[in-house]
Amino acid sequence: MATLTYVYADSTAVLGPLATFAEPHCYDLCAKHSARLTAPLGWEVIHLARSNKPPAPGPDDLLALADAVREAANGEPADAGAPAARREFRGTLEPPASAPMGVPTPGRRGHLRILRD
């Protein structure tokens, strides 16, 4: 796995470790596609050193894990002293009568799709 970053102004493509947050002009690639990467004629490809092992967990990850273990050991959430929020019952949700269940609307595609490696 790697992240491809490109800069049109410099005609440069950089292939490096997976990015930790989304940025413009960045794409995550699987191992197969990162190994087969080619760039347009005249472009420079820079391969940054990357490790095959996942990055070490950050302090936020470790604190979340410690909180989860503490909750499991105590049998109560960490905010047990805070009053519980009450939810108001607004009735049951029913599908609209005009749209039969299970029949797709013509001319509209689903917004989710499956991508295969």
Residue 2 φ/ψ, nearest 5 degrees: -155, 165
Q: Which H or E run contains 70?
A: helix 59-74
Q: What's the whole-model pTM score?
A: 0.42
- Report yes or no on 14 lying in a domain: yes
Report DSSP letters for 26-49, one per residue.
EEEE-HHHHHT----TT-EEEE--
pLDDT of amino acid 50: 64
Residue 19 lies in a domain: yes
At residue 47, the pLDDT reads: 86
- Mean pLDDT value across the chain: 75
- CA pair distance 100, 13, nearest whole angstrom: 50
Q: Which domain holds residue 36?
A: 2-47
Q: How many structural domains does the chain have?
A: 1
Output the six-digit token pair for 24.
Answer: 């413009």
Task: Work out the average pLDDT over 75-100.
Answer: 59
